[in-house]
A and B are shown apart, each in its own frame.
Chain A
Amino acid sequence: GAVVSQHPSWVICKSGTSVKIECRSLDFQATTMFWYRQFPKQSLMLMATSNEGSKATYEQGVEKDKFLINHASLTLSTLTVTSAHPEDSSFYICSARMGLQGNSPLHFGNGTRLTVT
């Protein structure tokens, strides 16, 4: 149980275009989902916390207008990278939690490798 599906697994896009990444909890309801960015050989960098039915909470330094997050249902959150640039190329990972508090494990998607040309 507790499967998180992330799609697409990789995407190549041209500068200036937008890319949408989906994160779905397949067999549980996720009130909260997290979006991370990971640079090569580094740890996870939390970008934002996605809350169902409300606005996402962004970490300091993350542009809200560039990384649009929508959490329209208890099983789906989307991250849209708008007007992508080569520096946005990275590995993006979503995760979801069944419980609300920090005492339960996170379930991760398999990540999306974004390459902006």
Chain B
Amino acid sequence: SQQGEEDPQALSIQEGENATMNCSYKTSINNLQWYRQNSGRGLVHLILIRSNEREKHSGRLRVTLDTSKKSSSLLITASRAADTASYFCATGTDSNYQLIWGAGTKLIIKP
């Protein structure tokens, strides 16, 4: 099931620029995860942020979480052509094994 909305639905930027994607959700969560999906492939886990964390970094990725606004953002700095993919957020709780998925943002990096 889906509870998240991601915006923008699609984003096209020049290589080297930063890309920011947002995710909003509706219910209480214990963690929020971001995944990347290259066209026609499975998803790859990027980063997990817990509800008691506000910001997390992994390489060129920066994720923020605002539980009061029920929203998260994923920032990719110094984008590369290889970052072209769809990005999905998913929320989870410690008591439930399922994740709830956002609709995804399609990111295109123009060389």
Residues of A within 8 A of B (CB): 4, 6, 32, 34, 41-44, 46, 49, 59, 91, 93, 95, 97, 100-111, 113
In the complex, chain A residues whose CB is within 8 Å of the CB of B48: 103-105
Q: Closest approach, in angstroms, between the C-beta of A77 and any C-beta of chain B?
A: 14
Question: Do B44 and A102 have beta carbons less than 8 Å apart?
Answer: no
In the complex, chain A residues whose CB is within 8 Å of the CB of B31: 102-103
Bound-complex Cα distance A101 to B99 (A): 10
In the complex, chain A residues whose CB is within 8 Å of the CB of B99: 102, 106
Q: Out of B2, B95, B106, which one reaches A102, CB within 8 Å?
A: B95
Known contacts A103-B30, A107-B45, then 13 further A-B pairs from the complex at CB < 8 Å, ordered by chain A residue: A4-B42, A42-B103, A44-B101, A46-B98, A101-B94, A102-B95, A102-B97, A103-B94, A106-B45, A108-B42, A108-B44, A110-B41, A111-B41
Q: Out of A6, A59, A91, A109, which one reaches B40, CB within 8 Å?
A: A91
Bound-complex Cα distance A44 to B41 (A): 12
How many B residues, CB 8 Å from partner? 29
Give a binary string over B24-56; 1 marks a CB under 8 Å from any A CB, 0 the rest: 000000110101000011111100101000000
Bound-complex Cα distance A41 to B86 (A): 9
Q: Closest approach, in angstroms, between the C-beta of A18 and any C-beta of chain B?
A: 23
A-B contact pairs, 22 of them (CB 8 A): A34-B98, A42-B103, A43-B101, A43-B102, A43-B103, A44-B88, A46-B98, A97-B97, A101-B92, A101-B96, A102-B30, A102-B92, A102-B94, A102-B95, A102-B98, A102-B99, A103-B30, A103-B31, A103-B93, A106-B35, A106-B43, A106-B99
